[in-house]
A and B are shown apart, each in its own frame.
Chain A
Amino acid sequence: GENVEQHPSTLSVQEGDSAVIKCTYSDSASNYFPWYKQELGKGPQLIIDIRSNVGEKKDQRIAVTLNKTAKHFSLHITETQPEDSAVYFCAATRTRSGGGADGLTFGKGTHLIIQP
């Protein structure tokens, strides 16, 4: 099955600086890669995703890049703000021939701390 590794486990950056979180996956058939943000006491919130036919996607201060050859994808957050402090999870899955997709396989998470 799929295996997703995520680094670093903790990332502390100064407010206004950029943050980068990296993930690698093992299954070359994976074709959908979402990123989630989880705040304390809440469920994961989808913040951005990318499909295997795209190399990069951007939404305001957040961007995701995908390198299919190396099987890794990264989350980039620019101009970080205190409200960006949370745990971030990457995930991977693939479309099933019979419909739907495999369940999401998640990385272990990155605790992002924004220092004022």
Chain B
Amino acid sequence: KAGVTQTPRYLIKTRGQQVTLSCSPISGHRSVSWYQQTPGQGLQFLFEYFSETQRNKGNFPGRFSGRQFSNSRSEMNVSTLELGDSALYLCASSLAASGRTDEQFFGPGTRLTVL
């Protein structure tokens, strides 16, 4: 099976702009989670989508949003970019079988640089 794919792999934006990142989960996986990785804060949970609905959310401002499509692909959007948004954005997919916590498999990430 193909792994989790993320596009684009690298992005450079300027402050105030907005950005959209894309994630395609492993075939058959129904849940997609997004994480932000920075040297200072480490890996932090942004949100999780399941069946096109946000099921869970971390402690990030409303500038960070996402959505999931009927084929389980997901996008996340960051509006009004700030310098501190520079990070590696990681997508993880899981099977989302009911009644248990499933393994999460990560993609390679999108490296976002805000100038």
Q: Which residues of A contact B (CB under 8 A)?
A: 31-32, 34, 36, 41-46, 49, 51, 89, 91, 93-96, 98-109
Tell me how far the C-beta of B37 lies from the nearest C-beta in chain A, rounded to whole angstroms.
Answer: 9
Contact: A100 with B103, CB < 8 Å? no
Chain B nearest Cβ from A86, distance in angstroms: 14
Q: Is the CB of A36 within 8 A of B103?
A: no
Give Cα distance in the complex from A106 to B101, angstroms.
16
Give the residue of B90, B96, B98, B102 whose beta carbon is less than 8 angstroms from that of A44. Answer: B90
Chain B residue total in the interface (Cβ 8 A): 30
Q: List the 4 shortest-distance A-B pairs measured between CB atoms, nearest first.
A: A103-B45, A43-B106, A106-B43, A101-B101
B65 interface hit (Cβ, 8 Å) = no
Cα distance, A69 to B58, chains bound together (Å): 27
Which residues of A have CB within 8 Å of B104?
34, 46, 104
Task: Please measure, in the bound complex, the distance between the C-alpha atom of A95 and the C-alpha atom of B109, giving whole angstroms.
Answer: 25
Q: Is B48 interfacial (CB 8 A cutoff)? A: yes
Tell me the complex Cα distance, A109–B98, Å: 30
User: Distance (Å) between the CB of B103 and the closest chain A CB?
Assistant: 6
By a CB distance below 8 angstroms, the chain B residues around A91 are 43
Distance, CA A100 to CA B99, complexed state (A): 8
Given contacts A100-B50, A102-B56, A103-B58, contact A46 B103 (CB under 8 A): yes
